[in-house]
Amino acid sequence: MQKFIIDSPLDMHLHLRDEDMLKLVAPHTSKTFAGALIMPNLVPPVTTKEALISYKNRILKACEGDTFIPYMTLFFQGNYSYEFLNDIKDEIIGIKLYPAGITTNSETGVSSMDVDVLRPTLEIMSKLNIPLCVHGETNGFVMDREKEFMPIYESLALNFPNLKIIMEHITTKDAVELLNKYDNLYATVTLHHLLITLDDVAGGALKPHLFCKPIAKRYEDKEALLQAALNAHPKLMFGSDSAPHPKHKKECCGCAAGVFTSPIALQVLTELFEKYEKLDNLNAFISLNAQKIYDFEPLNKKITLIKKEFEVPNIYEYKNENVVPMYAGEKLNWSIESIL
């Protein structure tokens, strides 16, 4: 039976939440990934060293027994001092910037994306070599939000040439094209944005479990993202943006945004790269690119996938928490055989 080995897979954009939901979802990443960049949008967001270390310890506890490193991020604020960032810099891999209110738990994000307003913090980050991770959406029409953010990315890239800027979970052809225009722009892309368009979310029946922010876009966008991923574009990293919400908050009258993909990401990526005969590029997309961009060496971990049917559970549960994964109840072509 066909096998494929993934070397130290990294998920460079992950939501682990907290409390029981953390305990439910974290092992689904820590089991099969060597590390993950952890989003700081808790309630309240992670903005102090104490909160950061405490959250890291809760994550490590939830992942106990697994070879796994959570790469922590701070929630961007305009008033971080040089002293504070200098003191915390070895504890973090980057700082995540959210425009206020743009997605789950982002209410305390920045209210202005004006470069001059952001300048003090971004200059400190440049000096200290702390990467900036950005949720790049305006508050415009839902299908235009990322495209409208492109000039802001350009302005950031031009004004802070020594700052590594990561366009998180890109969803458009425009963002892929921008990657090639500025040396200091990088990006993550999710699994689901390589697979779905708005048609999958709302073209037939409405699918709340595929509803996410940024929303899935057009076919030409998906195609551009897919080609960049399959060809292991050196500035593009895998970041699942796996974002669990309990079932009752997805199947209701006002469904929360987020797709839970952690337990299926490696299997589906293997299937996808195999389908396009690009398996040779998968390790770059899922690990090596991130190592180079962020300049770190992850724990050594080898995941052997085998071409054997895997039926995705309908739901994952822990105590009172639950979450429905992408492809719930469906069959995948690849399974995880062993983890070393």
Secondary structure (3-state) at 246? coil
Question: Interface mask (CB under 8 A) for a copy of itself, residues 205-244, using x and -?
Answer: xxxxx-x---x--xx-------------------------
CB atoms within 10 A of CB 251: 11
Minimum CB separation from a copy of itself for residue 58, in Å? 27
* The two structure tokens encoding residue 54: 């405490």
Report the residue number, 29 or 190, with the smaller CB distance to a copy of itself: 190
Look at the chain and count its residues: 340
Annotation says 241 is catalytic: yes
By the rule CB under 8 A, 174 interacts with a copy of itself: no
Q: Would you call 275 exposed, middle or buried from its count of C-beta atoms within 10 A (0-12, 13-18, 19+)? A: exposed
CA distances from 21 to 18, 218, 319 (A): 6, 32, 9
| Options 11, 114, 241, 295, the catalytic residue | 241
Secondary structure (3-state) at 317? strand
User: Contact with a copy of itself (CB under 8 A): which of 44, 151, 161, 203?
Assistant: 203
**Is 145 annotated as contributing to ligand binding?**
no
Minimum CB separation from a copy of itself for residue 199, in Å? 5
In sign, the C-alpha dihedral spanning 312, 314, 318, 323 is positive
Q: DSSP code of 340?
A: -
**Is 41 annotated as contributing to ligand binding?**
yes
Minimum CB separation from a copy of itself for residue 135, in Å? 15
User: Contact with a copy of itself (CB under 8 A): which of 25, 324, 326, 336?
Assistant: 324
Helix (H) or strand (E) holding 339: strand 335-339
Minimum CB separation from a copy of itself for residue 250, in Å? 8
Minimum CB separation from a copy of itself for residue 314, in Å? 10
Minimum CB separation from a copy of itself for residue 219, in Å? 6
The span from the CA of 39 to the CA of 41, in Å, is 6
By the rule CB under 8 A, 202 interacts with a copy of itself: yes
**Is 135 annotated as contributing to ligand binding?**
yes
User: Contact with a copy of itself (CB under 8 A): which of 5, 100, 252, 339?
Assistant: 252
Dihedral angle over CA of 225, 226, 230, 232, nearest 10: 10
* The two structure tokens encoding residue 300: 């050594």
> Given the rule CB under 8 A, which of 165-173, 247-255, 277-285, 296-304 is the region that contacts a copy of itself?
247-255
Secondary structure (3-state) at 2? coil
Dihedral angle over CA of 265, 271, 272, 278, nearest 10: 120
By the rule CB under 8 A, 141 interacts with a copy of itself: yes
User: How far from the centroid of its chain's Cα atoms is residue 124's Cα?
Assistant: 24
Report the residue number, 60 or 202, with the smaller CB distance to a copy of itself: 202
Known binding-site residue numbers: 13, 15-17, 41, 96, 135, 169, 241, 245, 257
Catalytic residues: 241
Q: Which residues are annotated as a binding site for substrate?
A: 15-17, 41, 135, 245, 257
What residue ranges bind a copy of itself (CB under 8 A)? 141-143, 197-199, 201-209, 211, 215, 218-219, 250-257, 324, 328
